[in-house]
Amino acid sequence: MKKPLNVFYKKLPVGVLEKKEDDTLGFTYSAAWLGSKERFALSPALPLQEEQFNNRITKSYFDNLLPEGETLKIFEQILKKSFEDPYQILESYGLDCAGALEITPLQGPPDHTAGGDLEKISFDEIDQVIANKDSLYVHSLVKHKGRFSLAGAQDKIPVIVQDDEVFLSIDARPTTHILKPPARISGVLNSVQNEYLCMRLAQLCKLEVPTVKLVGKEHLLFLVERYDRAIVNGRVERLHQYDMCQAQGYPSAEKYEEDGGPGFAQNYKTIEKVSDNKINDLEAALSWLAFNLLIGNNDSHSKNLSFLYVDGETRLAPMYDLLSTSIYKNMSSDFAFSIGGQRNPSKMKKKNFEMLAEDLGFEKRKDIFLKVMASMASLVQQQVEVLWAEISGDDRFKYIQKDLRAEIHSRVNLYKTL
């Protein structure tokens, strides 16, 4: 058996992640955690118990803390090592993950005092990485010895922003922002501007989203403030979070409904069970779904919905990863979720939205999502004009605005009169 990995929350030992002789994984809460006044379950799929969790449930939780897709493949190629399970990456790169947990083979929690090590990564250096068509994530781990693991398929890094400069945390001090370079997908152009505009539109439409901005020199970069961090007594504190796949015991490979993952109705009912702010969070989830349909975000899968655990209460986290994928011809034209049996947004009709309402449990209010869509369509139609006025004359958006404007206009007209 490999050396166990210890999982810490604010220096408290939460539990142990083990890789067994048969290469399966198991997670066990520590007795100290189970007896602590600060204890909480890491997710509904990992309830507080003394018994060890089995391989699937363990992998499902920790797998969702890891990079995916091309980023992981490039990482494996450079290190000449195949990472077959979460243990292998978290052993070396688990000190700064999404949420509040620190994962390490060390017996004690890492010391990340305010005087710890930071390493500047300049915009000139980032521009060179992009020009070389390299992964910024991999570059930061290999060149700067970063110790972080970010979930998802996008190329991105966690950073600390000070005086408009960007730093990597070398001592596992909590990072404050996520920095995304342009997407490294053929045919996907101006992804940074796309995401910025969609996130800003969401903010104008009263969806809860983190603060975002554009930075950089030669290449624009998308900078988003981490919602799983808070300033407490002048220090950055980690906040516990888990995504919808972790909440329900699905590995990241099943984040899409078509791959066996949860559908929207299943996620909605999970919010109903888990949230301590049910009414607001259920309304927010419906608004999130409507907004994604209206901007053409076909990649709005289950990992794009998360929970935050703050001060003993669980609520839906702010919305993130909002961008229009439908404007790119080489990306899927099917929506991530089936809406009343239909995944093609252009073919969704009134009956599909009524069937979704039934799936959500609204047998006597079949028009509930139709009303949400109509309301959001009117709001988007109004606020997108505010957005266009905001960026008027800004050449950074000249190549994306036309396509995005046409897509949103088309979808608003399609859905607002159903």
Which residues does the annotation mark as catalytic?
Answer: 299
Q: Is 253 helix (H, G, I), strand (E, B) or coil?
A: helix
Q: Per DSSP, what are the bridge partners of residue 231?
A: 236
Separation between Cα atoms, residue 245 and residue 266, nearest integer Å? 11
- Tokens 């950055």 found at: 236
Angle of the 368-390 helix axis to the 350-360 helix axis, nearest 10: 110
CA-wise closest residue to 327 among 154, 194, 160? 194
Separation between Cα atoms, residue 129 and residue 135, nearest integer Å? 7
Cβ-contact 201, 295 below 8 angstroms? yes
Q: How many C-beta neighbours within 10 Å does residue 260 have?
A: 11
| Greatest distance between any 2 Cα atoms in the chain | 62
Per the rule left: phi > 0, alpha: psi between -120 and 50, beta: everything else, 321 is left
Residue 88: CA count within 13 A, CB half-sphere? 12
CA-wise closest residue to 373 among 277, 285, 294? 294
- Structure-block tokens of residue 239: 């906040």
Q: Which phi and psi (to 5°) does residue 132 adopt? A: -80, 0
Cβ-contact 360, 268 below 8 angstroms? yes
For Cα atoms 35, 39, 44, give the angle at the middle one, nearest 5 degrees.
Answer: 125
34 secondary structure, DSSP code: H
Separation between Cα atoms, residue 290 and residue 318, nearest integer Å? 16
CA-wise closest residue to 291 among 205, 385, 405, 413? 205
Helices (H), 112-163: 123-131, 136-143
Separation between Cα atoms, residue 139 and residue 281, nearest integer Å? 38
Separation between Cα atoms, residue 94 and residue 5, nearest integer Å? 9
